[in-house]
Structure 1
Amino acid sequence: MPAAGQGKPAVPAARTDDAVPRVAAPREEGGPAGLAALGPAELLHRLRVRRASVEDSSITHVERVAARAGRTVPWPAWVPRSLREAYGFEPWEHQAAAASLAHAGQHVVLATGTASGKSLAYQMPALSRLLEDPRATVLYLSPTKALAADQLRAVARLGLDGVRPATYDGDTPRDEREWIRQHSRFVLTNPDMLHHAMLPGHARWAPFLRRLAYVVIDECHTYRGVFGSHVSHVLRRLRRLAAQYGSSPTFVLASATSGDPEDAASRLTGLPVTAVTEDASPRGAVTFALWEPPLLPHEDPDLPPTRRSALSETADLLTDAVVAGTRTLAFVRSRRAAEVVATMTRRSLDEAVPGLGRRVAAYRAGYLREDRRAIERALMSGELLALASTNALELGVDLVGLDAVLICGYPGTRASLWQQAGRAGRAGGEALAVLVARDDPLDTYLVHHPEALFGRPVEATVLDPANPYVLGPQLCCAAAEAPLRPADLEMFGGRAAHAAVEGLTRTGALRKRPTGWYWTHQGRPEVDLRGTGGAPVAVVESATGRLLGTVDQGSSHVMLHQGAVYLHQGASYVVDDLDLDDAVALVHAAEPDWSTHARDVTDLSVVSVREYVDAGPVGLFLGEVDVTNQVVSYQRRRIGTGEVIDTRPLDLPARELRTVAVWFTVSPRTLLAAGVEPPDVPGALHAAEHAAIGLLPLMATCDRWDIGGLSTANHADTQAPTVFVYDGHPGGAGFAERAYGTAAQWLRATREAIASCGCDAGCPSCVQSPKCGNGNNPLDKDKAISVLDAVLASLPNRAAADEPNAA
């Protein structure tokens, strides 16, 4: 079961999760096809009977989360009367508890379910302070612009005199920025703007920083991996400058339910943080279905079975929902997938009811700001009945009146799963969420092991502030803002920070003086918080010069190579040229009957070993590695059949990465004893590697696209058969450490996922990978089970990190 409060609360229409009075959008009286609009329960029944019989049903499990009444408490005595009257209702118990801790000066994190009213918990102390002290200021940080804009509307609607809330982000006109610096007392921004503009220009923000009373960090569970590690140092830089101007703000954090909110918030801020986790908000009933697409018939019995794609299945379900008048949001994993699902749904709807396709749209990052805002308005007004969206809509924007959520593929973490599911649900009504499994090991495992979703707490948030590829650049940023003093280094990590500063001094990036360490260059350090590898690549239509959107540097080699098919708002384009120096891809409109799939080659060498477990014939290691990857070609595959038309070479530069990896070795003698003959070793290790990558998100807050792998029958550095799994970010992101610490549990789930798959020789549900640069060849499913049996027989059952050896 999820943590309490994961569903939309059953609350009166006058109260919403942003704690601002508003009337909920009315339900449509009739569906677009003339049918009465179906509620979530009726829709699930209709979806269930889409198959010919119960035995053919794609639903593998239905979890029902019961409705729950809320518990209110009187307003704390310290809340001004004007603020109580502006809200017009009493707070939930958890809101008052977190707010009172913050009012008393304790740093606090509120980790409760979706729509549990976390906004009020930080608004209460922050706005009370602004009303009582006309000089005080508050800084609000969110991971997305949309969330900050939504919070601005919430605070502005309260109509409080003198607060003067304002958003300060990349969309803020320059003529407004000076007014905000001088007059706004409640500034809403994001970590990127804080890092790139506010902290480097801190002298212009001196009055604001001098009076800073509270720092609010919303949706703090999103700050994980490399991004979270960078943000942790941005917050330390903020604390340092605030102290220099004479303030010591209280930090108030809001999070989705998390496995360790107190520890994660402490690592993020560098401060002792108290957690409030008991959710006292009401919750409407939630019906959660797990859905496995059907197997497709094969004319050739020698081919491995494949399932209907999750994208096609989601598009069909979204079509059924729209025809039934059920307002629905479909979450998909990628920008391209959002376009595909929206296009397929529109096409099916127009065939059923001409013109109905206009009520469905795609939504994703990379759209221009005005396009995103127009789509948001159309959904809220009811002009649009459904959206196919990336996780850009997972957070923040208050989507009133949605009945159902379709989740196309496990989003990587249980926290994200419940966050997405919580976007559905009307006041007092039941919500429907459906997880549509992709044909990969993790999704297949989850739809057949519902206890892994519903019977466990959400994951721990993984971030590593000591990552040298994060720490060094962030120390340079801090030194450029104000000289680093020895006392500052304790805030940035103590011993690790001292070592980093010494290294930066040796290379000339910093210069030591009696008053501290100084940044030696004219310009500011160029540091990318999100680890995307540089400026985004602009996608430009050659014939018109029109900017279609952007793609991050890390994905550009795969998505925008010459000849790639690029999708945008339902239209397809073919890439003519990718200019990496100028970060521009030129495209032309086209409707090819094929799709493109990049292929790459990877080399890996071990740099150092941090820790290891000696388990006799099996060794488990954690350490630094160098990874070289190059996209060398792409396949064109026929749409519909998947037939490979041809493979075309590419001339793209190799990318080099120093990162952290976990790896295990097995002696050849042990493999032979397990029945794995030498010719079988490459395929067995390769299959085990794919499945292990697919199952790692069960243990850590990562996605399979955050990690990579390599397997070899005799690696040059280990002199043994070896399987590597590495973080796909410079310096690592903490995922390999989590894998090392839970190795026995992780590999046991991997073994079970392979063994329980019904295929004969391996398929996407167990050992095939969509990102394999070798075209999923060779793979040996049965021998992979033998390899994992041998490893698990030797590996200690408890977490491997319990008894590490220092290398």
Structure 2
Amino acid sequence: MVRTGELLDVLLAGGLRADRVTHVERLPARPGEQADWPTWADTDLVAGYRSLGVARPWRHQVEAAEAAWSGRHTVLATSTGSGKSLAFWLPSLTAVRADVAAAALDPGRIETFGRRGSVLYLCPTKALAADQLVSVDRLLAAGHARDVRVATCDGDTGFDERRWVQQYGDVVMTNPDFLHFALLPNHRRWARLLGSLRYVVVDECHAYRGVFGAHVAAVLRRLQRLAASYQAGPKGGPATPGGATAGMAASGGRAQRRGPVFLLASATTSDPAASAARLLGVRPDDVTAVTADTSPAGRKTFVLWQPPELPGARAAELDDEDPWATPLPLPPIDRDALDDAPGSPDGSAAHDGSAAHTVMAPLEPAEGSGPLGTGERVVADEPDRPRRSATAEVADLLADLTAAGARTLAFTRSRRAAESVATVTQAHLREIDDSLAGAVAAYRGGYLPEERRALESAIRGGRLRALATTNALELGVDITGLDAVLIAGWPGTRVSLWQQAGRAGRAGSEGLVALVAREDPLDTYLVHHPEAIFDTPVEATVFDPTNPYVLAPHLCAAAAELPLRTEDLPLFGPGTRELLDVLVERGALRRRPSGWYWTHADPASRLTDLRGTGGYPVRVIETTTGRVLGTVDAAAADSTVHRGAVYVHQGATYVVDELRLDDDVAFVGRRDVDYGTWARWLTSTEITSVTSEIQWGPITWGFGTVDVTTQVMSYQRKHIPDFQVIGTEELEMPARTLATTAVWWTAPESVREAAGVTAELTPGALHAAEHASIGLLPLLATCDRWDLGGLSTELHTDTGQATVFVHDAYPGGAGFAERGFALGATWLRATRAAIATCRCASGCPACVQSPKCGNSNHPLEKAAAVRLLDAVLAHAPHD
């Protein structure tokens, strides 16, 4: 283990890079606090943990395990590497083994088979489920407790293996998507599992936010309802949907509730008990929250870092993530784009990294889409004195740390950046020692599962010293003993930042973290204002399980699983009865005296997609060998694996020969090329219908449906490493349209003149107002910022005015824009207050800067935005 002080010296290069450090934060060490093993804990499991090096558990592990064993829903929200898995596996595996032992003692009784309990483990990604499978197998082997049958089951599981899991699995590891599409609709095949379900483990539950979180909340309610139906009867009397504590019964010293106990593991978030209760559909008082982290933590040195200026150079030629080669001859515009989409670990749910870098995001468009109402995405003028790109800087730092013997993760914002950092780092290390280059690799979504498992094993075992990764490794895959973490650009939330930073110095050792700023005002602000990072609490997990746009298709799915009864309605929340009436009126459900029924031939589960991925992944196949190299998400395929695109896989370059969208296949050939490809696209926003419209004098407020259409038009080849343009090729790609709902307000020239907002200030004032209003709407609409998109433009073709749009980032809308329209004056006053009361001089993340602005938060005019909002609100109704 390399000492942190030595690693900081490596970063500083003997003082040559000291001017790049804007702040050093010393986070003190924390001693661990242990507790005795619970008396009820299975002795073989305890022996297994001890043989794996856990002599005694940490106090927070015992507190969470005790709460779960007593029959209470429990959420454990502690830092990365604090051992959350022990807290949920100890009670759940003990319960299963107790049932196994009871069956062995009296094998002749017919009810013995039904008494053997089961556990369902849910997590956001297949990678995490596979990692937990390895960990549990290791524990059971160490404790000689091989009588527990553990398996993963997801969309990749074959029919025969799936049938074995249905019949024999004691611990089943899967994800919410499989639960929604396969397990719940076919619940009769899973009757044994559901009827014996003791615990449901919901890992990394902070990932369930926004619309994705609302979907998962509905899925968990459907699960509770079916489990209760299978567990009702002579064994314990009538089941209580939602696991109400009134139905408790003692069994073997363990309090059992009728229905499973939920164990949730989370990163450190704001008010985890409230979030967990909202996810499960219970009262916060019914959830025990354990938040005091008693695991040891070594001293952590957190460095804020800004790359150096490159005088006289053009940023477009130097930034290895710049999507376009040269600025187009158009004025600076609002070209915001979503970075890493929620619900998937590296943005793969919607696109490959930032839309401002390489791809489009038709299902989750980001803030802003064009100048003068055209919707064209163009490159704004770059600063006169650009700085070195964060990815290039991180590659240098990673090479130096690797050469010094450190084990490091380098987090990047996109898949392209992960490959770039790994490749450049390897090139640097070859100049020192050829053998060192083999100690660095890339890790990202789109790799085949076996390749990702091999990389995880290699970094865990020390065969690799460094991985350049997307946020795919942010979640709880068990990688310990790392010396340092490099973060190329603000990851979007403080929860993500601390999750990534927590990889350094795990297991109580010292660690070094460096946040390297991208050339973006948000990143620049943060590295120069450390209080915004270190003195600001982490965000809450925000989602609305009663959102009718989300809940309606799940009520249909629930009715298809089992007819909905009146007694089921409280489980799904207030307003459910009224929503069912609407579904009956529209013919989706049929009402009978006994309940609500799904009577259609098509599966109701197909009415909605939890993540909104937009289609099946596109397989990338090597033409000559037929080997599958990986996958690209459907939303990213047009811009990343179009004909002629360069596809990089672990440093090897391939060129796409053919993209067959109908077959979800891209054929590539292995070629050594000295260039990369960057897609160019157009996006337009069109009002298709106006549902409601009101006038505030000269101001028009509108709500209706819009089409956000994106089409890849061409791509450019740029020479690497100098990024000179060497060619442009036209493409014929299909247009992708997101039909959604939006709210908009206009700012006529007379209003802008009254506010003193000149033509030069108008783009920045509108842009700042758009960013701030998107940041404030989640307070009124119970959504997440990533659930929204927007546009601000001096002249929109449909309104004929300067207009600010905010739209739902989901097909058909999700109710957020509609809520904004209903609370227009309240919303805009809150927006104005947030900007005006912020103590910054010209705009910061607390007011007008956005963490997902693809136009690098430019232009922004804070003062002009306040004046403009004052002028607009002067016409607002007084009520």
Report the TM range for the smaller structure's normalisation.
0.7 to 0.9
Aligned partner of 1:333 in structure 2 is 413
Aligned to 2:205: 220
Question: Which range moves more in the overlay, 690-699 or 371-380?
Answer: 690-699
Q: CA deviation at 1:199?
A: 1.5
Of 275, 280, 291, 1:269 maps to 280
User: CA 1:756–1:180 in 2, change beyond 3 Å: closer, same or farther?
Assistant: closer
Q: Distance in 1 between matches of 2:758 and 2:734?
A: 37
* CA distance in structure 2 between the aligned counterparts of 1:589 and 1:690, rounded to whole angstroms: 43
Aligned position for 1:445: 525
> In the aligned structure 1, how far is the partner of 2:259 from the partner of 2:761?
62
Where do 1:94-113 residues align within 5 Å?
94-113=60-79
Report deviation, 1:790. Answer: 1.5
- What is the 5 A alignment of 1:137-536? 137-156=118-137, 157-158=139-140, 159=143, 160=145, 162-246=147-231, 247-272=258-283, 273-298=287-312, 304-495=384-575, 497-515=576-594, 516-523=596-603, 525-526=605-606, 527-536=608-617
Question: Alpha carbons of 1:688 and 1:557: their partners in 2 closer, same or farther (altered >3 Å)?
Answer: farther
Equivalents in 2 of 1:379, 1:735: separation in Å?
43
User: Deviations 1:176-233 (Å, cap 9, x if unpaired)?
Assistant: 3333222222222222222232222211221221121111101100112332222111
What does 1:593-608 correspond to in 2, within 5 Å? 593-605=675-687
**Aligned partners of 1:643 and 1:229: how far apart in 2?**
46
Q: Deviations over 1:378-402 (max 9, x none)?
A: 2122111111111221122211321
Q: 2:645 aligns with which of 558, 564, 567?
A: 564
Aligned equivalents of 2:815, 2:497: Cα separation in 1: 21
Do the aligned partners of residues 309 and 494 (structure 1) sit closer, same or farther apart at CA in structure 2, a change above 3 Å counting?
A: same
CA distance in 1 between partners of 2:442 and 2:815 (Å): 33
For 1:6, the equivalent position in structure 2 comes to: none
Aligned partner of 2:41 in structure 1 is: 79
Unmatched segments (≥5 aa) in structure 2: 101-115, 232-257, 315-380, 821-825
Per-residue displacement from partner, 1:422-479 (whole Å, max 9, x unpaired)? 1121544211111111222322221122211111111111223344443233233223
Q: CA 1:424/1:755 → structure 2, altered by over 3 Å: closer, same or farther?
A: closer
The one of 55, 75, 80 equivalent to 1:114 is 80
- Change in Cα spacing, 1:630 to 1:522, as seen in structure 2 (3 Å) is closer
> What SS does the aligned partner of 1:245 have?
helix
Q: CA deviation at 1:676?
A: 2.7
What TM-score do you get using the length of structure 2 for normalisation? Answer: 0.76
Per mean C-alpha deviation after superposition, the further-off stretch among 305-314 and 644-653 is: 644-653
CA distance in 2, matches of 1:481, 1:253: 25
1:581 positional shift: 2.5
Q: Distance in 1 between matches of 2:727 and 2:853?
A: 18
Separation in 2 of the partners of 1:600 and 1:655? 10
Q: 2:32 is paired with a residue of what secondary structure? A: coil
AA aligned to 1:789 is V
Q: Secondary structure at the residue paired with 1:380?
A: helix
Give the CA deviation at 1:533: 1.0
The residue type paired with residue 667 of structure 2 is: L
Query: Is residue 710 of structure 1 aligned with residue 791 of structure 2?
Result: yes
1:656 paired residue among 725, 729, 737 = 737
Of 719-728 and 526-535, more deviation after overlay is shown by: 719-728
Amino acid corresponding to residue 66 of structure 1 in structure 2: P
CA contact (8 A) 1:563 1:576 kept: yes
Work out whether residues 632 and 649 of structure 1, in 8 Å CA contact, stay in contact via their aligned partners in 2.
no
Structure 1 pair 583–473 and aligned structure 2 pair: CA distance change class (3 A):
farther
2:723 and 2:770 mapped to 1: Cα distance? Answer: 24
For residues 5 and 514 of structure 2, the distance between their equivalents in structure 1, rounded to whole angstroms, comes to: 12
> Is 1:68 matched with 2:45?
no
**For the Cα contact (< 8 Å) 2:480–2:507, is it kept in 1?**
no
Q: State the match for 2:831 in structure 1.
A: 743
Q: Which residue of 2 aligns with 1:541?
A: 622
Q: Give the drift of 1:289.
A: 1.0
Per the alignment, residue 15 of structure 1 pairs with none
- For each residue in 1:327-386, what CA deviation from the matched residue of structure 2 results, as whole angstroms up to 9, or x when unmatched? 111111222221111111111111222232111111112111221122122212211111
- In the alignment, does 2:631 pair up with 1:554? no
1:44 aligns with 2:126: no
Question: How many angstroms apart in 1 are the aligned matches of 2:781 and 2:306?
Answer: 24
Conserved? CA contact 2:484–2:513, under 8 Å: yes
- What whole-Å deviation, never above 9, does each CA across 1:681-714 have from its counterpart, x for those lacking one? 3465357657987999999999987653211225
CA distance in 2 between partners of 1:511 and 1:154 (Å): 47
Q: Deviations over 1:724-777 (max 9, x none)?
A: 3434323557987899596357646999585589xxxxxxx98999846xxx9x
Give the 3 Å change call, closer, same or farther, for CA 106–393 of structure 1 in structure 2.
same
CA distance in 1, matches of 2:195, 2:122: 18
How far, CA to CA, are the matches of 1:585 and 1:176 in structure 2?
29
CA contact (8 A) 1:108 1:275 kept: yes
Contact 1:226 1:464 in 2 (8 A): yes
Secondary structure at 1:401 match in 2 = coil
| Residue type at the aligned position of 1:102 | A
Query: Aligned ranges for residues 640-789 of structure 1 at < 5 Å?
Result: 640-643=721-724, 648-659=729-740, 665-666=746-747, 668-678=749-759, 681-682=762-763, 685-686=766-767, 689=770, 707-715=788-796, 720-730=801-811, 743-744=831-832, 747=835, 752=840, 771=854, 781=859, 784-789=861-866
Over 3 Å counting, the alpha-carbon distance change for 1:627 and 1:287 in structure 2 is farther
Closer, same or farther: CA 340–770 of 1 in aligned 2, 3 Å: farther
Q: 1:588 aligns to what?
A: 669
TM-score, structure 1 as length reference: 0.82
**1:609/1:456 Cα in 2 relative to 1: closer, same or farther (>3 Å)?**
farther
Task: Give the superposition deviation at 1:406.
Answer: 0.9
Structure 1: runs of 5+ lacking an equivalent: 1-26, 28-37, 758-764, 797-802
SS at match of 2:431: helix
2 CA distance for matches of 1:768 and 1:284? 30
Q: Is the 8 A contact 2:488 2:518 kept in 1?
A: yes
For residue 313 of structure 1, report the CA deviation from its aligned partner: 0.9
Contact 1:41 1:430 in 2 (8 A): no
Q: Which amino acid aligns with 2:281?
A: G
SS of equivalent to 2:151: strand
User: What is the CA-CA distance between 1:404 and the residue it aligns to?
Assistant: 0.6
Instruction: Label 1:62 to 1:670 Cα distance change in 2 as closer, same or farther (>3 A).
Output: farther
Shift of 1:633: 2.0
**Residue 648 (structure 1) shift:** 4.8
Compared CA separation, residues 768 and 380, structure 1 to 2 (3 A): closer
Quick check: 1:125 aligned with 2:91?
A: yes
- Letter aligned with residue 600 of structure 1: L
Q: Which moved more, 1:141-150 or 1:660-669?
A: 660-669
3-state SS of the aligned residue for 1:599? strand
Q: CA deviation at 1:320?
A: 0.7
- Looking at structure 1, the residues matched to 647 and 839 of structure 2 have their Cα atoms a distance apart, in angstroms, of 37
Q: Deviations over 1:41-97 (max 9, x none)?
A: 21112212466464xx21111111111112233344443555444434333332222
